[in-house]
Structure 1
Amino acid sequence: MDLTRLRLLVELERMGTMAAVADVVGMGTSAVSKHFAVLEQEAGVALLAPDGRRVRLTPAGHRLAGHAVDILARVDAARAELTGEGEPVGRVDLVTFISVAPVIVLPALRRLKDRYPGIEVRVIEHEPDEALEALQSGGADLGLVYTYSLVPRRFPGALTLRPVGGEPLLLSQPSGAPASSRPMTRRRLRGLADASWIANSRGSDEDELVQRMCAGAGFAPRIRHRIDNLEVAEQVVAAGMGVGVTPKLAAATRRGVVHSPLGELGGIRRVYLAGRTGGWAWRPIALLARYLTEAAAEVLDPPEPTAPGA
């Protein structure tokens, strides 16, 4: 049903005559009458009945006018929300990788909820490959993804990226190993040529990162453990059973583990917000993105000015 005709019906119930409705809306009486004739065809029932020289609403007309009030109010509320005039409401599906959840996602969601309780956020945990698939298929609205400077990721052209920061990578070793606050050198890294290295089970970017980093130091790593959970990987290191690469945010202080910066040998992990092009204008998504960006700025290094490789 046409919204204009529903508005005319509401005005007729309020004002009582076709002439009064015509004056209010700036139409001729005949034009208003034609709109009502079409509305009756759309509704499939009589909405008006003759009453002398005037018309009156039938019971069905009154019933539809009541529905019209609610329909028009909802439409006005939706327009206000989308144009930024009303309180934003709606659900956003956020896909994220686990290591940023405690330090970026949860602080952002708490602040968002305090300020905009009408926005509901559903959190989905995925690594970047699965996250990008979910974003493209519509399984998620907004995502936090990462790429390594040594292993640039190709991002789908259907998605728009916004950098939120970066973090250095650290070498995790058992506490008996010498630690240093200075970046790792190739000579020091070559000393771990016979170590048991930890990579992930997916054969993805993290695996490639270890391979390229060690190749840069002149050796092929002996990968003995394939572990996806960074917390478990750190426990393996603490037990003296291996060494591995850990992003700074995931490198919690743990007895039995020492961390050394990898510097240029390991590069950095860049973090991005990703979303379908065109979806960023919806206020719930825009607000969530803003709060995530603010939370990221508190724990990550500033983003680089250059965009990731396509």
Structure 2
Amino acid sequence: MNLRQLRYFCEVVEAGSAALAAKRLFVAPTAVSMQLTQLEEHLGETLFDRSRRPMELTSLGKYFYPRAKELLSQARRLDEEARGIATGNRGWLGIGFVRSALFSILPTAIKRFRETFPDVHLDLVEVLSEYQPEQLYQGRIDLGISRFIGRFEQATDLNYKFVLEESFLAAVPIDHPLAQQSSVSAIEFASLPFILYPKDPKSPFGQQMVSVLREAGASPVVAHEAIEIHTALALVGAGLGGTLVGRSIAVNNRADVAFVPVHDIEESAAVVAITRKEEENKLVASFLETLAYPQSA
């Protein structure tokens, strides 16, 4: 199966016949028929019911047509973007980010970057911190925005730039008594069931938050595990417990969750930008400059 076969197939569907499709494609009708036959042989089933006039799509054809259209559209976009990058008219920058960055530094950074580089295609990839180095090595992303608690392992062939360090806040249901306090202790907060995130075997972040509470003398009980922070905060809003978040995440967040300082937690969370070492990339350097967050943690 190839793109020509998909294009000819879609043209036949839209034109209503192979003869009209051939005119639109500026090819001989036999060329269209040959491509359709090869495609059907590859799939092992017919795409058109040729016993009807005009011929109609079979069940397979009805399934295949919208997906073929989408694939052709993606191929055109890839061709346009690749040609633009090759000719220097456009650029491409892959950015990996943890979900919590959507609450804080990422939107502002993207807006600032766009003001300077409006024609650069930003490929945004949501990926946990622990998976970002592999994505950098593979060239899937050019810059990763990660979040860590305490010391973490740093690869010798990658650069790590600390963008933001911030204290923790307790996220509690808006109607819980703790929501009315100006601050809480770790022990007070641990009276709520703890909602751990992210739920992933490679990420120690959730268990590190539990350890932070224990170091402050609390005994948190993990009641729920969420794949990512949006789900964790939704569970808090539903009254199922509480969790910890970085201070920047509380800005313009959910109305059903209160964010309260925890006055006896000393540990903080760090947002770190990761890039490949010894690689000169003007776009990466420019995006790094936009990541400075104006609010102190």
TM-score bracket, normalised by the shorter chain, equals 0.5 to 0.7
Inter-partner Cα distance in structure 2 for 1:166 and 1:145: 12
Q: 1:96-175 maps to which residues of 2 (within 5 A)?
A: 96-101=97-102, 103-149=104-150, 152-174=151-173, 175=175
Q: Once the two structures are superposed, what CA deviation does each residue of 1:110-131 show, in whole Å capped at 9, x if it has no partner?
A: 3323322343221111110111
SS of equivalent residue, structure 1 residue 122? strand
1:190 pairs with 2:191: no
After TM superposition, list the pairs within 5 Å mapping 1:170-181 onto structure 2.
170-174=169-173, 175-178=175-178, 179-181=180-182
1:193 CA drift (Å):
4.6
C-alpha separation between the residues in 1 aligned to 2:238 and 2:213? 22
Task: Map residues 12-161 of structure 1 onto 2, 5 A cutoff.
Answer: 90-101=91-102, 103-149=104-150, 152-161=151-160
Aligned counterparts of 2:286 and 2:89: Cα–Cα separation in 1? 9
Q: How far apart are 1:134 and its partner, in Å? A: 0.9
Tell me the equivalent position of 1:298.
294
> How does the TM-score come out when normalised to structure 1?
0.59
Number of residues of Structure 1 aligned to a counterpart in Structure 2: 207
Question: Secondary structure of the equivalent of 2:152?
Answer: coil
Matched residue type, 1:169: F
CA contact (8 A) 2:94 2:141 kept: yes
Opposite residue 197 of structure 1, the aligned amino acid is: F
Q: Which amino acid aligns with 1:95?
A: G
Unaligned runs of 5+ in 1: 1-77, 79-86, 302-310
Q: Is the 8 A contact 2:148 2:205 kept in 1?
A: no
- Supply the AA of the counterpart residue of 1:195: L
Question: What is the RMSD computed on CA atoms of the aligned residues?
Answer: 2.7
Supply the distance in 1 between the matched residues of 2:216 and 2:111 (Cα, whole angstroms): 44
Higher-Rg structure is: 1
- Distance in 1 of aligned mates of 2:115 and 2:141: 23
CA contact under 8 A between 2:99 and 2:229: conserved in structure 1? no
Distance 1:117 1:255, change over 3 A: closer
**Corresponding position: 1:277 with 2:274:** no
Alpha carbons 2:168, 2:262 under 8 Å: kept? yes
CA shift in 2, pair 1:113/1:247, >3 Å: same
Structure 1 equivalent of residue 25 of structure 2: none
- Residue 249 (structure 1) aligned with residue 240 (structure 2): no
Please state how far the C-alpha of 1:192 moved relative to its aligned partner.
4.7
Given that residues 144 and 273 in structure 2 are in contact (C-alpha distance below 8 angstroms), is that contact kept between their aligned partners in structure 1? yes
Unaligned stretches of 5+ in structure 2? 1-85
Q: 1:88 to 1:266 in 2, by over 3 A?
A: farther
